[in-house]
Structure 1
Amino acid sequence: MIAAYTSVLSARPGDPVDIHLSSSGEVCRLEIARLGRERGVVLEVKNIATVEHAVPADADTMGCGWPVTATFTVGAGWESGYYELRFENELGETTCHFVCVLPSARTQRALLVLATNTYQAYNWWGGRSTYGDIGAVMDGRLGLFEALDQAVGIVSQERPFAQGILNAPEGVPKLMNGGLRGAGELPDMPSRRFTAEHGLGPLDNPAGFKNKWEHKFVAWCEEHGIGLDYATDRDLNDRPHVLDGYACVLVVGHSEYWSGPQRQALDDYVDQGGNLAVFSGNTSYWKVRWDGSRMVCHKSRGIDREPDLASAATGLWSHPQFARPEAALLGLTFLLGGYHRLGMCVARGTGSYTVYDETHWALEGCDLFYGDQIGGDSPLLAYENDGCLLQFNTDGRLSAVPHLGVPADLAVIAMAPAVFAEEPGTAYPPILAPEKLELAALVAHGHSEAGAQDRLRRGHAVMASFRREKGEVFNAGTTEWASALASGLSFVPRITLNVLQRFGAVG
């Protein structure tokens, strides 16, 4: 066995980074490489002396407590980005970790915020995550749905990552059904076969950088000469000034977990004239709190677990106790969106957005008209998508209903159906992990009775934009935007470029 973690997940040139490593071998080799369109090695260290350390029973929540094995210093010439740390011992065993290198000073016009809180929430190294006892699933002690009851509300950063999160193999399929479901058939899900074939955890795919959404997005940007600086979720929590001076801030893929200070930093950034480009789905759904090296996220149990913490508690960002629904900043929320082309959720969906405002600036130069569809050839929509309540205008266009923080002046560009949870009581067994419908319905619609839960199930994926104070927000409304971008899907590259140009990311 070989496993490692670092003292920090982000650092600037000149900063030291401690490595905590356990290995059944006696020596190992470290290779550090920046991941983007290409993999560029910046440092190799050989013959690092190692020993094997015990894994504490509570490593998932309290950390490993291993001593420092070695230290490296971030090089003065290391470009801002995601850096993979790859370790290999003399037995041929390997493991990976990462460090985000921040710029010493702003070097680009746009800042990408890596969704590292989401990485932490899904990490099950040591057994459990905020989703369940995935270790018990992997060794056959529990089925996935049973394991969900063993989720923990606190996870430690001082432990390695499950390798399916940080070191996913090439060719990770989209989180979607493989094709349109035939009559009487269960959906085909290639991602589940891929997970089983490669020995990955059942919930590894929705988090991590390598060969996933963020990686695909930055590779496209580098191919097209668009420079990005990098930071992590935790950086916005600890040092919100990292946003200073950027024309545009981007979140990509699956930026699901935000802390209070992180949210405040982005609120202030936009209100003071910054531009926020959201190419993510299920964005800022759960509110978390950092307590030293541990991330607290009790999810649906948060309000009950921490009744005396008021606004510092954890749970749904849209919960009325916090009075700060995510849609007030983002324009959209997963509570009014849902899944598309996944399991029995819109299982026969086209995976396309339908255009309702062909005059919107984001569609400039796309040759799109009212009713045209964007994305069916990839498809664009799958997995998780954010939305809002909608109403038809007399001119046939759509308007947002100002509900759950959604601004009244939200410009709705395109829309598609989405389903928040699979329908119960059908002839088909559940495929997706069940959502906590009672709490979600209570937060979204004010009560948790069956009628509210039924209403919750029927949502929409929405592409939209709006102005907030001195700044502006664009929200693509889906996790899958980067995958469509990487595939050169019709219209998606041009829309992306329109957003980046308007928001000042491209000079």
Structure 2
Amino acid sequence: MGYADRVSVTPGEEIGLHVSTTAPSFRVSAFRVGWYGGAEARLVWSSERIPGRVQPEPRFLSDTRTVRAQWPRTTALGTTGWPEGAYLLRLDTQDGHQRYIPLIVRSTQGAGRTVLMHAPATWQAYNRWGGSSLYEGPSGAYDDRSLAVSFDRPYDEDGAEKFMVYERAAVVRAERLGLPLAYTTGMDVHRDPKVLHGASAVICLGHDEYWTPEQRQHVTEARDAGTNVAFLGANTCFRRIRLEQEGTGSDRTVVCYKSSFRSDPFRTTDPALVTTDFRQSPAADPESSLTGVLYEGYPTDAPYVVHAADHWLYEGTGVRPGEGFDHLVGVEYDRVTPGAPVPAPLEITAHSPLVCNGRRSHADSAYYTLRGGAGVFATGTMRWVEGLMAGTPDGGRDHGMDARTRAFVTRTTDNLLRAFAEGPAARHRPAPRPNAPEVYRADA
């Protein structure tokens, strides 16, 4: 297992790997995810065999219950000649054991391109390596969860589970369409919004829950300047976090006190940076003012039900009003919520009845535009990107979704990406038909 000392690099920059293995040696192979005539990744670089060693036990920081490996650097690799993109670094031992380390080779300019914005802060929030995440501690309980999590440790599972489930298929699809693409992460947008300047669109992938206020501000400013924005998941921009310097470099720790925000040391000094839900005080700012939808619940499993079948998003799908696609809504969902701040005009394109924790509600897909020209679309379901793989050998946990659902999600995603790549969608696609009051009045 191992981790990188950088979340992202620009082409040519060096990256250090920190690896622990019981094997005498291992090899590193760098695969760029994309579309290569049917293959969905390409080998870009591989190392010679590297001596292995078992690294020390991780440190546990009691104040924030943070697990940090802090292993010595095992090896360094350069990225000269590597194209921008999403990469998987695969660690292989001679006897077949493997582990991944995700890496984004990021773009510095995004003008005229569709920017894919990856979500490593969310990957890290759910990472249980060493026994603790922002959700649970060694006991498995919420009460002893970490209040801050470190990038100076490997990811759990195969090392790249969140990327593989919620992001990889969208990267492959965008590359297959041949669109001009740029690559970045939410953490890089937090530091420097330059990659968004003049971008045709920014695409937030399938699970992008943890944002800093700076990241949100920069994406909002890009939207207001005419950059289209798509949210291909649910529960996006829900948690307000801080990034702090620890271990191997800057922004290596994700801080989120959540319901323990009263213990956040910033509560008395800078309330706008207190780490809790964006909709909660202090400095409450519900995510719906950016996304158009509001996160409501977990868990659910329900059909995705099309409402505005004649919307340009669904061109070529052949759908009819009220037609459903089983299991596409889940496991978390968003909806247009009366009373929550939302931009206008906004149109609900899908309105999906569901039950969550015994309560009846709906998930909504929604589209809105602004005077500056930007179009913004939110799917309202966490499973959208998984739907691109439904019914295939790569589908993994596709939740029972079938090839019909995959065809619908794929064509709708293609329509969205192609339209948004053309520039401000309000200028070349039909305007939203405001319908939220009508849709929810019909449910009453």
Same fold (TM over 0.5): yes
Question: Following the alignment from structure 2 to structure 1, what is the Cα–Cα distance between the partners of residues 422 and 19?
Answer: 39
**SS in structure 2 at match of 1:483:** helix
Q: 324, 327, 341: which one pairs with 2:285?
A: 324
Question: Following the alignment from structure 2 to structure 1, what is the Cα–Cα distance between the partners of residues 346 and 92?
Answer: 51
Q: 182, 202, 225: which one pairs with 1:249?
A: 202
Q: 109, 113, 137: which one pairs with 1:109?
A: 113
Q: 21, 25, 31: which one pairs with 2:23?
A: 25
Q: Is the 8 A contact 2:298 2:333 kept in 1?
A: yes
How many Å apart are 1:160 and its aligned residue? 1.0
- 1:475 pairs with 2:378: yes
Deviation digits for residues 419-454 of structure 1, max 9, x if unmatched?
Answer: 45x24xxxxxxxxxxxxxxxxxxxxxxxxxxxxxxx
Aligned to 2:166: 213
Aligned to 1:372: 322
Aligned to 1:192: none
**SS in structure 2 at match of 1:42:** strand
- 1:466 pairs with 2:427: no
Question: Following the alignment from structure 2 to structure 1, what is the Cα–Cα distance between the partners of residues 260 and 353?
Answer: 29
**SS in structure 2 at match of 1:58:** strand
Structure (1/2) with the larger strand percentage: 2
How many Å apart are 1:359 and its aligned residue? 4.1
Q: Is the 8 A contact 2:231 2:378 kept in 1?
A: yes
Q: Is the 8 A contact 1:339 1:418 kept in 2?
A: no
1:303/1:375 Cα in 2 relative to 1: closer, same or farther (>3 Å)? farther
Q: Is the 8 A contact 1:25 1:51 kept in 2?
A: yes
How many Å apart are 1:6 and its aligned residue? 1.2
Question: Following the alignment from structure 1 to structure 2, what is the Cα–Cα distance between the partners of residues 39 and 491?
Answer: 24
**SS in structure 2 at match of 1:503:** helix
1:417/1:103 Cα in 2 relative to 1: closer, same or farther (>3 Å)? same
Q: 140, 158, 164: which one pairs with 2:152?
A: 158
Could you tell me the TM-score, scaled by structure 1's length?
0.72
Q: Percent identity?
A: 29
- 1:54 pairs with 2:48: no
How many Å apart are 1:469 and its aligned residue? 4.6
- 1:132 pairs with 2:136: yes
1:166-245 matches, cutoff 5 A: 166=160, 168=161, 208-210=162-164, 212-245=165-198
1:238/1:95 Cα in 2 relative to 1: closer, same or farther (>3 Å)? same
**SS in structure 1 at match of 2:328:** coil
Aligned to 2:413: 496
Amino acid at match of 2:416: V
Aligned to 2:330: 382
- 1:416 pairs with 2:366: no
Q: Is the 8 A contact 1:217 1:486 kept in 2?
A: no
- 1:406 pairs with 2:366: no
Deviation digits for residues 358-415 of structure 1, max 9, x if unmatched?
Answer: 443323444444x321423xx32221111123xxxxxxxxxxx3x2222353211121
How many Å apart are 1:91 and its aligned residue? 5.8
**SS in structure 2 at match of 1:29:** strand
**SS in structure 1 at match of 2:143:** helix
1:130/1:409 Cα in 2 relative to 1: closer, same or farther (>3 Å)? same
Q: Is the 8 A contact 2:110 2:196 kept in 1?
A: no
CA RMSD of aligned residues (A): 2.5
Question: Following the alignment from structure 2 to structure 1, what is the Cα–Cα distance between the partners of residues 213 and 416?
Answer: 27
**SS in structure 1 at match of 2:11:** coil
1:495/1:127 Cα in 2 relative to 1: closer, same or farther (>3 Å)? same
Amino acid at match of 1:459: S
1:227-306 matches, cutoff 5 A: 227-292=180-245, 293-306=252-265
1:73-92 matches, cutoff 5 A: 73-76=78-81, 78-90=82-94, 92=96
Aligned to 1:178: none
User: Which segment is superposed worse, 318-327 or 288-297?
Assistant: 318-327
Amino acid at match of 1:362: L
How many Å apart are 1:156 and its aligned residue? 0.5
Amino acid at match of 1:41: L
How many Å apart are 1:329 and its aligned residue? 0.4
Aligned residues: 394
Question: Following the alignment from structure 2 to structure 1, what is the Cα–Cα distance between the partners of residues 360 and 199?
Answer: 38
Aligned to 2:428: none
1:339/1:25 Cα in 2 relative to 1: closer, same or farther (>3 Å)? closer
1:329/1:251 Cα in 2 relative to 1: closer, same or farther (>3 Å)? same
How many Å apart are 1:104 and its aligned residue? 5.2
User: Gapped runs of 5+ residues in structure 2?
Assistant: 246-251, 391-402, 425-444
How many Å apart are 1:223 and its aligned residue? 3.3
How many Å apart are 1:57 and its aligned residue? 3.7
Q: Is the 8 A contact 2:109 2:182 kept in 1?
A: no
How many Å apart are 1:475 and its aligned residue? 0.9
Aligned to 1:360: 311
Aligned to 1:8: 6
Q: Is the 8 A contact 2:230 2:378 kept in 1?
A: yes
**SS in structure 2 at match of 1:417:** strand
Could you tell me the TM-score, scaled by structure 2's length?
0.82
Question: Following the alignment from structure 2 to structure 1, what is the Cα–Cα distance between the partners of residues 34 and 190?
Answer: 25
Q: Is the 8 A contact 1:209 1:215 kept in 2?
A: yes
**SS in structure 2 at match of 1:491:** helix
1:367/1:506 Cα in 2 relative to 1: closer, same or farther (>3 Å)? farther
